[in-house]
Amino acid sequence: MPAKPSEQEEEYFARREFERRKKALAEKEREAAEEERLRVLAVARERCPKCGAPLLAVKFQGVELDKCSRCQGVWLDCGELEQLAGEETGFLVSLKRIFG
């Protein structure tokens, strides 16, 4: 029959179990926070930042923009302004390419 673990052994294993549970709880909290962040982002992307009304997808010069159904504001995602501006031309742009 095995001997009863010493008090130090009991404390060691209790501490390890506590740390394991603490890490598991922290991981669950991180996952829950990330899920909440993604949920809020999904809702926010479908709403106008100015008035909160639903956004409608509108094609303009081949780029899909977001237009507010209430205040008629137009919202651009990352890179859409550059797509609309197109390739810059002209003498100064050429100089910038050479020396920039």
Same domain, 30 and 56: no
pLDDT of res. 88: 64
Helix (H) or strand (E) holding 56: strand 55-60
pLDDT of res. 24: 97
Same domain, 10 and 59: no
Same domain, 58 and 95: yes
Same domain, 59 and 81: yes
What is the number of structural domains in the chain?
2
Q: pLDDT tens digits for the chain (100 residues)?
A: 567 888 899 999 999 999 999 999 999 999 999 999 888 877 767 888 888 889 999 998 888 899 999 999 998 888 888 888 876 666 777 777 777 6
Cβ atoms of residues 55 and 46 within 8 Å: yes
Same domain, 35 and 4: yes
This prediction's pTM: 0.47
Cβ atoms of residues 84 and 61 within 8 Å: yes
Number of H helices, E strands in the chain: 3, 3
pLDDT of res. 2: 66
- Residue 30 is part of which domain span? 1-45
